[in-house]
Structure 1
Amino acid sequence: MDPVIIVGAGPVGLTLALALARQEVPCVVLDESPGRDEPRPARTVVLREDTVALVERLTGAPLTGGFRWAGWRSMRRKQVMREVAFDDAADPAPLHIAQHVLTGALRAALAGDPLVQVAVDSRLDAIEQEPSGVTAHTRGPNGTWWRGSHLVGCDGPRSTVRKLQDIRFPGRTAVERYAVAALRTELPWTDEALLHRSPPWRTSGPSAGEIVGRPLPDGLWRLDWLLPPGKDLVTPEMLVTRIRETLAGWAGGASPAYELLDTGVHTIHHRLARRWRAGRVFLAGDAAHLLGALGTQGLDEGLRDVDNLAWKLALAWHQGPHEALLDSYQEERRAAVATRLRAADQVLPLLRGGGGLRSYVPGSSRGHDALLADGHLGRGALGAPGAYTDSPLVPAHLDGEVVVGTPPGALVTDVRVTAEDGTFVRLHDRLGRAALLVVLVAPGTGVWERKHWVTAGIMPRLAAAVTALPCHAELLVTESYPGAGAHTVLLVRPDGRLVTALNGVRPADLYAAAETALGGAAEAAAAEAGAPVGTR
């Protein structure tokens, strides 16, 4: 069968290639660059725990070269409004990393993989679709035609794939603008990120008065200054003035010595593609959505696109048409990103409008700082990963369904489980294998070897039910799960989303839930109605 064609070799495209290769799906990555990433210290990304875990699981190694903050501080004028201390286990810190370091790690993991071909200096200029596949043409030194089973556009905001498929990309332009500097210096704190609103030293002309400082390894910092509305030119002189007054203000005196490494202007747009699927062509990452105001990070959502799409493409590649399952990618991911965009658009006037009655409401400033911190820290409506609660892959009306600490469609908690070979592993380590996971909650099993209980109690009946499921599933056992009682059975998707929780071994319910999670229920309903499935 033909490989999957991935257009774009940024973090999203490279991660998708890795995710497909780990599920034994060949792919071709069309990279319009020479295959090297220019070091840009001012171009960094902040990844939350779920997306860091995804990258590390796919690369098979800890993600190095980034910086995990020890804490977060929100200030307004001279007052500290909020402080957060991170805990590696209970409250992991975000990871701040230069984008070229991230793509370098992904390229290194792909090097030598026989299932992945990276075609450099290959710029897409045509796409043709047929019922049996898709063909793409590239121009460049080795311009040629490429044949694939599917094609995924991970080619950024100006996506050629999106334009060739005539997909609209409505939204708002220049929602916010930031002047950015990457520099090496010594500050009174070394390992905390900082959001400073309305600093008392503003002397460099008109300013919205918001600065974000994020540490990097080796004494590097990325500083972002929110610019006032408009398109005023950010001159080198103005930027140097802002650097000096900011460093002096934070140091409480003269500006400390610094080494300026990189600068830029970061403009944030809010856009959402009308469609994320056109037949055998899909969009992911910045090609499908742009967001980033109020601390939200677009790359996080791009990597979640990959996590959602990869296992569905892999299942379709290995087993044949799963149209409802492929349609669910747009239904789930577009809804999740749209929710975050709406939240940011609703909060922006409150935070940026200023003046009026809000200025006199007690505690309003503290609430504003909390909202901004949530965006930066990946919490709340502005920053937390969305749950696919309204997904067509969530089963309804199962007699044995019970409520646990994770709602259906949300990411499961990473508990310790016993694998089929008897080893103890983390639940999230078993994700991304193009297989469903069935997790039995069985208190006390952790103190016995698997051979002593694998044939006892309800295990044989559950093992038989798992074997009968419509696709391969792995049976795992855990001593406990938040909100779950003994003998609760969890069904988990390859991207770590809970399908359902059942009260005991219920083969019929388990089969029905698995069938729904694979899109089978939607396929059957469409076939019965004599109508095509989904949004193709």
Structure 2
Amino acid sequence: MVGATYQLAFELYPYAKVASQDLPPHRHPVVVVGGGPIGMATALDLGLKGTPVLVLDDHDGVGLGSRAICFAKRTLEIADRLGAGQAMVDKGVIWNVGKVFHGPDKVFEFNLLPEEGHKNPAFINLQQPYFEKFLVDAVRRAQANGAPIEIRGRNVVTGLTRHDDHVCLDVDTPDGPYQVEADWLIACDGARSPVREMMGLSFDGRVFEDNFLIADVRMTADFPTERWFWFEPPFKNSGQSALLHKQPDDIWRIDFQLGWDIDREAELDPVKIRERVDAMLGDDAEYELEWTSIYTFQCRRMKEFRHGRVLFAGDAAHQVSPFGARGANSGIQDVDNLAWKLDLVIKGLAHDTLLDTYSEERVHGADENILNSTRATDFLTPKSEISKIFRNAVLDLARHHDFARPLVNSGRLSVPCAYDGLSLNGADGLDGPSCTRVGAPCVDAPLSDGFLLDQLPGHFTLLAINTQLPELTEVDGIELQKLRLDTSADDPTGALKERYLGTAECAIYLIRPDQHVAARWTRANASDVRSALRTAVAKRS
């Protein structure tokens, strides 16, 4: 069921026949399959770097239904770098506070971003069609400024043939089939990835038997903009758990845990859905059903995300349960990791072994998300009476004791992945804050003129705080952006010192294009930086 909320200019990239459909296959540096949020972000990131990219999508605009709605701070920071973040924040519902209930009683509440000094909030709620639309809007602006991005709607990939130096795609259109060649193919075509199926690749993990009903309702209500989650909710026919979130346009997301062995057709009957919603909101509540769906928890991933000249991202590579908002958010982190690496490879500035580290780092991230999602699922849906007794005992303790609250798991909400101990990490010569350790994403901080992350726009950057920068402008053709800050002049709140220096008086950071810390020192010379940057692009000699 779809209401007017989701009628968002669906023909954002309507089908049009291109001349190359009647010619021998044309070779493209990069072809992205899938025009959802992950595919569009990939195309935008590459295009802004000057790498030509073609997007093939089987539709001609944004998808239906709200689906993903929770977008985390790290996703908004990446979207900022791509030119779409502010529109998302302006439209989205900002929230930092969540409340956990057991039956009718509040167990505790939490604040995901209690500290000041960040440009972006901990989370926004924003229907996925809006998220996609703002990315497409950013693509259009980039195209107008010369970014080499092409989108072809209603171009369905039906087959592929892999060669040593390219991939050949069979594409079907309203005007018949044609072929496209790609030096590099990026599959962003969802959890049921046709590209993955065509290649016969496995997608292993756990499929949980519990079922959950999503009901997006339109209503005017004075509930606060918080995440409310109930274990064993007091509402009639609401199942083992329930979740309430506010979205833009007076839309509220409600999740009900239905249990096992359900009749899906019966559960999707609007009459039965209304019975559940009425029990939660009250019989006198006035609302309209906008969109409904039933889903099961699935935690799966591919063994590797790179297969020769084919790379997988987003749900095509890994899938997690929705509680915790780790699906779309982790997919955007895939984009953030892959685009700069592929760009360097295409420009001849790095060997293609750098792309193996895309798989290394993002498999690490996927495993972290799957672990958290699996633990959340097991806590939400106890598989035995003893497990349920333990779960409820934890909830009872959490009402009165802080130590028990970290044990409560209503979905560990998405946080950025740190690549601890992985192969691209350089020296950590600073006994500094853990939050900005080597492998971690940079933490934002207010400066006297704006915010720190706005000064890290997608290049290798050498950041010096209270010290001089080494005399170095490039390494093996890779340009270094330089940023020098002084806490006495540039740190009005003290957050920069707290988050990047700790007890140290000065520091130098080498920061990757995806804003992860590649290396850090109290002081460094050109040789130190050169060695760390070569490590960061997988050059070992």
Residue of structure 1 aligned with 2:183, choices 149, 152, 156: 149
Whether 1:299 and 2:328 are equivalent positions in the alignment is yes
In the alignment, which residue of structure 2 is the partner of 1:24? 50
Which residue in 2 is equivalent to 1:258?
287
Match of 1:394 in 2: 425
For residue 149 of structure 1, give the secondary structure of its aligned residue in structure 2: strand
Deviation digits for residues 457-494 of structure 1 (CA, Å, limit 9, x no counterpart): x63xx341344565211111222442522331101111
Structure 2 residue 140 is matched with structure 1 residue 111:
yes
1:100 maps to which residue? Answer: 129
Residue pairs, 1:365-376, within 5 angstroms: 365=395, 370=406, 375=411
Alignment partner, residue 229 of structure 2: 195
Please give the residue correspondences for 1:158-307 in structure 2 after superposition, counting only pairs within 5 Å: 158-202=192-236, 204=237, 208-233=239-264, 234-236=267-269, 237-248=271-282, 254-307=283-336
Listed as ranges, the matches of 1:502-521 within 5 Å are 502-521=521-540
The answer to whether structure 1 residue 476 and structure 2 residue 483 are counterparts is yes
CA contact 1:10–1:103 (8 Å) conserved in 2: yes
Say whether residues 1:407 and 2:433 are aligned partners.
no
Question: Contact (CA 8 Å) 2:298, 2:319: kept in 1 or not?
Answer: yes
Answer whether contact 1:187 1:247 (CA < 8 A) is retained.
Answer: no
Which of 457, 465, 473 is the aligned partner of 1:441? 465
CA 2–44 in structure 1, closer or farther in 2 if over 3 Å, else same: closer
Decide whether aligned partners of structure 1 residues 371 and 299 sit closer, same or farther in structure 2, where only a CA change above 3 A counts.
farther
SS at match of 1:520: coil
Q: 1:122 aligns with which of 126, 151, 155?
A: 155
User: Which residue pairs with 2:454 in the alignment?
Assistant: 429
- Would you say the 8 A contact 2:74–2:415 is kept in 1? no
Aligned-pair distance for 1:19? 0.5
CA separation in 2, counterparts of 1:111 and 1:4?
18
SS at match of 1:218: coil
In the alignment, what sits opposite 1:529?
none
> Which of 109, 112, 116 matches 1:89?
116
- State whether structure 2 residue 47 is matched by structure 1 residue 11: no
- Counterpart-to-counterpart distance in 1, 2:409 and 2:456: 30
Q: Secondary structure at the match of 1:408?
A: coil
**Taking structure 1 as reference, are residues 87 and 395 closer, same or farther at Cα in structure 2, changes over 3 Å only?**
closer
- Deviations along 1:498-532, one digit per CA (max 9) or x if unpaired, are 111112132222111111001102xx4xxxxxxxx
What is the CA–CA distance in structure 1 between the aligned matches of 2:336 and 2:68, rounded to whole Å? Answer: 21
1:98-149: CA deviation from partner (whole Å, max 9, x where unpaired): 1111111111221261411111111112223333333222112243222222
Q: Which residue of 2 aligns with 1:421?
A: none
Q: Name 1:534's counterpart in structure 2.
A: none
Cross-structure match for 2:342: 313
- Evaluate the alpha carbon distance shift between residue 264 and residue 371 of structure 1 in structure 2; reply closer, same or farther with a 3 A threshold: farther
Paired position in structure 2 for 1:36: 61
Q: Distance in 1 between matches of 2:408 and 2:393?
A: 15
Q: 2: distance between equivalents of 1:347 and 1:361?
A: 11
1:494 is matched with: 513
Contact 2:117 2:444 in 1 (8 A): no
> Residues of 2 paired with 1:257 and 1:436: CA distance?
53
Q: Measure the CA separation in 2 of the matches of 1:217 and 1:314.
A: 36
User: Secondary structure in 1 aligned to 2:471?
Assistant: helix
1:171-228 Cα deviation digits (max 9, x unpaired): 12245421111112244524222111212233x3xx6421101101232201110111
Q: Which moved more, 1:409-418 or 1:267-276?
A: 409-418
Instruction: Structure 1: state its 5+ residue gaps.
Output: 249-253, 419-423, 443-457, 525-536
The one-letter code sitting in structure 2 at the alignment partner of 1:59 is G
- Report the counterpart of residue 465 of structure 1 in structure 2: 472
| Aligned partners of 2:167 and 2:182 also within 8 Å | yes
Q: Which residue pairs with 1:364 in the alignment?
A: 394
Q: SS where residue 472 of structure 2 aligns?
A: helix
Cα drift, residue 429 of structure 1: 2.0
Per the TM alignment, residue 44 of structure 1 is displaced from its structure 2 partner at its CA by 3.7
Task: Report deviation, 1:257.
Answer: 1.6
Secondary structure of the 1:394 match is coil
Note closer, same or farther for the CA distance 1:511–1:401 as it changes in structure 2 (3 Å cut). farther
Contact 2:117/2:445, CA 8 A, preserved across alignment: no
The one-letter amino acid paired with 2:61 is R
TM-score, normalisation: structure 2: 0.82
TM-score between the two structures when normalised by the length of structure 1: 0.83
- Structure 1 residue 394: Cα displacement: 0.8
What is the number of residues matched between the two proteins?
A: 482
Contact 1:23 1:432 (8 Å CA) reproduced:
no
Residue 446 of structure 1 corresponds to which residue in structure 2? Answer: none
SS in 1 for 2:347: helix
Could you say if the C-alpha distance between residues 489 and 187 of structure 1 is closer, same or farther in structure 2, counting changes exceeding 3 Å? same
Q: Identify if the C-alpha distance between structure 1 residues 432 and 123 changes in structure 2 by more than 3 Å, giving closer, same or farther.
A: farther
Paired letter, 1:68:
I
Indicate conservation of the 8 Å contact 1:176/1:269, yes or no: no
CA shift for structure 1 position 87:
5.4
Q: Which amino acid aligns with 2:296?
A: T
State the secondary structure of the residue aligned to 1:342.
helix
Structure 2: distance between partners of 1:357 and 1:221: 31
Q: Deviations over 1:255-283 (max 9, x none)?
A: 32222222221233111111211111100
Aligned mate of 1:53, from 60, 74, 77: 77
Q: Deviations over 1:290-313 (max 9, x none)?
A: 102543430001101000001001
Contact 1:48 1:300 in 2 (8 A): yes
What is the identity, as a one-letter code, of the residue corresponding to 2:445? V
The answer as to whether partners of 2:425 and 2:535 remain within 8 angstroms in 1 is yes
Closer/same/farther in 2, CA of residues 271 and 361 from structure 1, 3 Å limit: closer
* Deviation for aligned residue 1:95: 1.0
Structure 1 392/374 Cα, relative in aligned 2: closer, same or farther at 3 Å? farther
Give identity over the alignment, percent: 24
Q: Which amino acid aligns with 1:89?
A: E
Measured in 2, the distance between the counterparts of 1:87 and 1:182 equals: 29
**1:499 is paired with a residue of what secondary structure?**
strand
Secondary structure of 2:361 counterpart: helix
CA distance in 1, matches of 2:161, 2:331: 25
2-structure distance, mates of 1:177, 1:362: 21
| 1:150 aligned counterpart, secondary structure | strand
Query: Retained in 2: the 8 A contact 1:404–1:501?
Result: no
Match of 2:15 in 1: none
Encode CA deviations 1:57-104: one digit per residue, 9 max, x unaligned: 213543143211263221111211122356583583311111111111
* RMSD of Structure 2 on Structure 1 (CA): 2.6
